[in-house]
Every structure is written in C-alpha cells, then in structure tokens.
Structure 1
Amino acid sequence: MRYWSFRDGFGLENLVVCEGETPQPGPDEVLLELSMASLNYRDLVVMRGQHGKAVTTPLIPLSDGVGKVIETGSAVEDFSVGDRVSPAFFQHWDGGAPPSNLERGRLGGPLDGVLTSHAVFPARTLVRVPEYLSDAEAATLPCAGVTAWSALSEPAPLRPGETVLVLGTGGVALLAISLAKASGARVIVTTSSAERAAQVQKLGADLVINRNAVPNWSKTVREFTGGAGCDRVVELGGAATLMESVKASKIGGTIILVGNVTGNNAELFLPLVLTRRLTLQSVSVGSRQALVALNRAMDHHQIRPVVDTVFPFDKAPDAFRALESGGGFGNVCISCVQETDH
C-alpha cells in the first residue's frame, strides 16, 4: 500500500508519501481499496498543527473518502467484495447522543485517515454509497455532507416554507443549499464575489448577497423576509460574522454554529440574543446513522455535490494548497488510485 503521512511533524513540508504492507482485516473488519478522498477546512487546521494535543504525528490525513471492499473478515455479514462504501467520520458514534470521548474517534486526526490506497475499518462503521454518485461526489459526504445534514436537522429539521441563511460557498455550504432547497425551504446565501453569486444561483438560491459589496447584509436579509428575519442560519463564518447572523435571525430563530474561519473569539450584543429567544446550537459532523440518512435523502432527490478539482495521488500537497488558496468553487478531491494500477 501507498499512503501520505505527516511523518515528522505537521505542515506540508512534513507530508510525505510512504509505502507499507497492506493491512489484513480482523474477523469484524473490512479491507478497502480507496478510490477517492476529499478535503475539508478541518484538514487545513490539522495540517497547520492547530487541532489540539490529541492530534499527533505520524498521521495519515483526511476523513472523507470512498472505496471498494476487497476483503472481509470471517464474521462480516453486511458487506461483500465489490461493495462501494464510505467510512463514517466518527468511528465510534453509531447514533443517538454523542459519546463522552467524541474527539477520540475522528478519522484524519487523531485516527489515521483515508489518504491511502488501502485501509482496514470495522464493518460497523461503513455505509454504502448511492450508486448514481461518482467517486469524487461520494467522497465529500462523510464529514462535509453530514455536517450540512446536521445543520439542517438539529435541533429540529428545517421545514418547507422556512427561510435558511447559508454563509459562504465551501463544501458544507454548497450541499446545505441543495439539501435546503430539496426540503422546500427558501435559501439566502452570502458569498464574496459576483462570479460566485452567479454560480450559487444556479444551485437554486433564492437570494445571493455579495458580502463584500453589502457588509451589513443582515439588513438585506430582513428586507427580503419582510422584516421578520430568517428561521435558521448555517453559521460557517465565526467571529467576524456571528453578530450579523444574530441580526439576520427572526424571533425564536436558530443559529447553527459550524465554522470559525474568520476567528475564534466573537463578541455578542447579548440583549439581541436574550430578548429574541434565539437558539445557538453547534454541530460537529454527526453519527454513522446521520450518514445513512443523508445518503438516503441524496438518493431520493438525486442531489450531486459540487466538485471543483480532482488531484492525482502523487500531487496531494497541491490539493492542500488549492483548498488553502480559496480560489475554487466546490470540493477539492484527491484520487487514491495509483498510477501503477492503470
């Protein structure tokens, strides 16, 4: 097997390609031949060594991937050779309330991830992939996809006719737009350029706001909603956007805290939160059962994630650089297929 690893520390200078023995599955395990991996903003945080003390090197990065079953353990009954599956982001959270040691079960840190040609996983952590999706599209779902699903499902599901505000145009945001439209909601999106605004409108957004041209975009949201504000905000920005999200929310509205790309320490004018009965809820991806539910919804609505670029395996560091540059539109993926396999 060949794999990429942060060998002697974090940073792209320490991301090296390695070779090793292909692992063998135990009785309850499955050996996958990975075909595609997808990057998330979280992977940049890991790459920078900023994901906390529990995430250490050596480490195989990336959590989102898809592959085919090439060998099953003697006790495995639910999967067969040739099945196309994805491992769940949390390897120890099947469903229900999250475990108390939630952070310990994440792929791509602290557990080895999917930027590899082969890997062994417990069969109970795997989920079949919708047949209509390409490998690149399917690879985006375990972390980014489930995060979008959770943001629209918790603490209660988004309902038809409600209005949701989605901040940004990253992988989570783009799938949240498609899922929200499929649920019958009105969708408002903030983005950073006219070009991206045009691309988002093609996904069905009802209103797109260029936040660089309209810095007080909460006023535009309230005008669009007849002064009421939106029912839900998928808050992917962080410190610099949270106060505007509060202003854009209706009385009794919900703000789903997902990202912190603009900073970690936010200031809030508490009277606006307290007197308007707002709910601030965070989501951290979701369980394996959430991935199952997402795949079922994707299949029903035939939703396709947006993929920007697929890099070859040997150019994996370039994929990190492409995501970090922020210049693309959609998910950045890496093929795990080895050139010698052709």
Structure 2
Amino acid sequence: MKAIRVTNPGRYEDLALVDEPTPELGRRDVLIKVRACSLNFRDTIIAKGSYPGPLAHHVIPISDGAGDVVAVGSDVTRVTVGDRVTVNCSCDWVAGPNLAEYRSNSVGTTIDGMLAEFVRVEERAVIQLPDDFSYTDAAALPCAAVSAWSALHVAAPLSPGQTVLIQGSGGVSLFGLQIARMFGARVLALTSSEEKAQRLKAMGAAAVVNYRETPNWEDPILELTGGKGVDKVIEIGGGGTINHSIACTRAGGEIGLVGYVAGMAGSLRPITLQMRSVNLKPISIGPRISFEALLTGMQNTGTRPVIDSVYGFSQFKDALRHLESGNHFGKVVIDMEA
C-alpha cells in the first residue's frame, strides 16, 4: 500500500511517500480502506517536528479519516466487511475520563494514522456512518468536531439559551458554532476579516468581533452579554488568547482549552481565573460515546461539516500549506482516490 510517513520532521518536503505491505490483522483488528482524511492544526506541527506530545517513530500522520471495512479479525463483532466507518482518535477511550494509558493508542501520533491507502485499528475505535454521510463529511469529524463537543460539555451540558464564544473559522470553531446552534444556544464569534464575519453570521452567529481591529476583544464580548460574560468558550488560541477569554467568561462559566494556534507559551493569570470562578479544562478530543452522540445529533438536525477545500492524495503537501496559511474557512480534506 502507499502511505506517507514522517521520516525527517522539519519540512513538508521531507514527508516520505512509501510503498509497504498492507498491515496484518490481530483477532480484534479491523482493516479500513481509507477514502478520505482531513487535516488539523496539529498535523502541520507534527510534520514540522514541533509537536509537544508523544509521537511514534516514522509515524503515518493524520488522525481523521473515513472509509470501508475490507477485512476483520477472527473475534471482531462490532462491524463487518463492507461497513462504512470512521475512527475515534483515541482507540481505547470508549467512555469515562481520559486516562494516561489511552495516549499510547492515539491515531496519527502514537500509532499510524489515516494518510495511507489502508489503516489497521482495533474494533472498539470504529464507528459506523449514517447512510447519507459522505466520506468527505465523515472524515472531517473525528478530531475537530468531537473536540468542539467536549469543549461545550466541560462541567455541565450545553443548554438552550446559553451564550457560547468561538474563536476564528477553523474546523473546531465552526463545529462549535454548529453544535451550539443545534442546542439552541447563542453564538458570539471572533474573526479576522469582514468576509469571514459575514459567513459566520450566515451560519448563525449572533454577533462577530474582529480581533485584529479590536485587540482587547473581551470588552465588546462583555458588552454583548450585558456585562455578564459568556457561558462557554471554545479556546483554540492558547497562550495568546486565554487571558482575554477568562476576562469575558461569566462567573462559574466554562472554558474548553482545545488548541494553541496563537502560541503555546503565555502567562495565565490565576487570580482572574479564581476571582471569576471559571472552570478551565484542557480538551483531549473525546471518547467514542461522545463521537456517537455527536453523529446522532448531526443526523437528527441535518447538520453537515463546512468543507473549505478538497485535495488529492498526491497534493497532501499543498493541503498542509493551505491549512497553515490560515486562509481556510472550515475543514481541509484529502480525497484518497483523487
């Protein structure tokens, strides 16, 4: 099979196209022919050698993908050959809290990922797709959509009428907007351009603040909430934005810390966090049951991912560059058969 391996992290040009045997299956393994996969911000830093987490030697990158089951191990019971499936990012995390041992079986980081013609995963990680979900749509979900779901359910479930703040127009943020609207919540958004602001409003954002024109964007967010602050924040900026987010979250509100696109370093102000009694939780994507609940919600409401662009397998480096540029609106997908 053809696959891409991270053989010399540092440059996209050093990602290696390899031809190797199709993986052999254990008793509870499933072999998937990958039809589509999608990129996340962490895929760019994995390729460049700056990913801060554990990484398998010469790993096949990309956690998100969808395809067809083409073979199963002797003891597999959850799926059969021919099923259309996607895969939870953490193969062992089915339900409950995230445990340290789950990190040793994480798709695209500690085990081989989706940027290959075939992928082998344990059956408990596999999720069957609704009939009317395309491979492109399904491939967009595992990391970004499940992270958004988890970030909106930090200490208490998302409820109708609550106010949610999203940052930017990448995959996690747009899924956050869509999920919040599925629940009947009000969404405030941050973005960098008027064009993106109009698109966010068309998707249901009640108001949008341009963070480039208004560096202290917590002030207008507070004004938009009558000085109270938002109920929930999907924090994707990290060190560059976290203190602004705390400042505009209501007392007792929640921040789901998903990413660090505005910087990994920073100085968190604990006194502000304590004085506002804000619940801050790092998000490590989510368990399989959250993914299944998300799929059910999307199916029942007719919600589908926002797809920015689709690249062919041979164009994967261009896809990474496009994602890194920040010019995307929604998910960047790779069609493995194009």
What interval of TM-score do these two structures reach, taking the shorter chain for normalisation? over 0.9
The verdict on how the C-alpha distance between 1:282 and 1:53 changes in structure 2, with shifts beyond 3 A counting, is closer
CA displacement at 1:56 relative to structure 2: 4.1
Q: Which runs of 5+ in 2 are unaligned?
A: none
| Alignment partners' CA distance in 2, 1:127 and 1:302 | 19
Establish whether residue 217 from structure 1 lines up as the match of residue 217 from structure 2: yes
Aligned partners of 1:118, 1:244: CA distance in 2, in Å?
43
Paired residue for 2:160? 160
Distance 2:66 2:22 in 1: 17
Residue 9 of structure 1 deviates from its aligned partner by 3.9
Aligned-partner Cα distance in 1 for 2:33–2:298: 24
Q: 1:301-338: CA deviations, max 9, x gaps?
A: 1111111111111111111111111112111111112x
Aligned residues, how many?
Answer: 338
8 Å Cα contact 2:150/2:256 also seen in 1: no
Q: CA deviation at 1:53?
A: 6.7
Residue 127 of structure 1: how far off its partner (Å): 0.4
Aligned to 1:336: 336
Tell me if the contact between 1:9 and 1:57 (Cα under 8 Å) persists in the aligned partners. Answer: no
Q: Secondary structure at the match of 2:69?
A: strand
Give the unaligned 5+ runs of structure 1.
none
Distance 1:10 1:268 in 2: 29
1:54 aligned to 2:54? yes
Distance 1:16-1:223 versus aligned 2 partners, 3 A rule: same
- Per the alignment, in what secondary structure is the counterpart of residue 143 of structure 2? helix
| Amino acid across the alignment from 1:62 | I
Q: Does 169-178 or 9-18 show the bigger shift?
A: 9-18
Equivalence for 1:80 = 80
Contact 2:69 2:81 in 1 (8 A): yes
What is the rounded CA distance, in whole Å, between the counterparts of 1:173 and 1:326 in structure 2?
A: 13
Q: Which digits, 9 at most, give the CA deviation of each residue in 1:37-67, with x for residues without a partner? A: 0000011121111224731431111000001
1:207 counterpart residue number: 207
Report % sequence identity.
Answer: 37
Alignment partners' CA distance in 2, 1:130 and 1:49: 36
Structure 1 residues 162 and 171: CA distance shift in structure 2, 3 A: same
**Are 2:319 and 1:299 equivalent residues in the alignment?**
no
How far apart, in 2, do the equivalents of 1:169 and 1:335 lie? 22
| Match of residue 120 from structure 1 | 120
Q: TM-score, normalised by structure 1?
A: 0.95
8 A contact 1:238–1:264 mirrored in 2: yes
Whether 2:172 is the aligned partner of 1:186: answer no
1:3-28 deviations in whole A, cap 9, x for unaligned? 11122444312212111222232322
List, as ranges, runs of 4+ consecutive aligned residues in structure 1 with deviation greater than 4 Å. none
Letter in 2 for 1:7: T
Query: What secondary structure does 1:318 align onto?
Result: helix
**TM norm structure 2:** 0.96
1: CA distance, partners of 2:144 / 2:244: 24
Is 1:63–2:36 an aligned residue pair?
A: no
Matched ranges for 1:217-296 at <5 A: 217-296=217-296
State the alpha-carbon separation in 1 of the partners of residues 64 and 327 from structure 2: 21
Partners of 1:64 and 1:141 within 8 A in 2: yes
Q: Distance in 2 between matches of 1:49 and 1:304?
A: 32
Which amino acid letter does the alignment assign opposite residue 211 of structure 1?
A: Y
Matched residue SS, 2:323: helix
Deviates most, 155-164 or 32-41: 155-164
Matched residue type, 2:310: V
Q: Which amino acid aligns with 1:312?
A: G
User: Quick one: distance in 1 between partners of 2:188 and 2:144?
Assistant: 19
Distance 2:75 2:92 in 1: 19
Instruction: State the Cα distance separating 1:117 from its structure 2 match.
Output: 0.7
- Counterpart residue type for residue 44 of structure 1: T
In 2, distance between residues paired with 1:298 and 1:6?
34
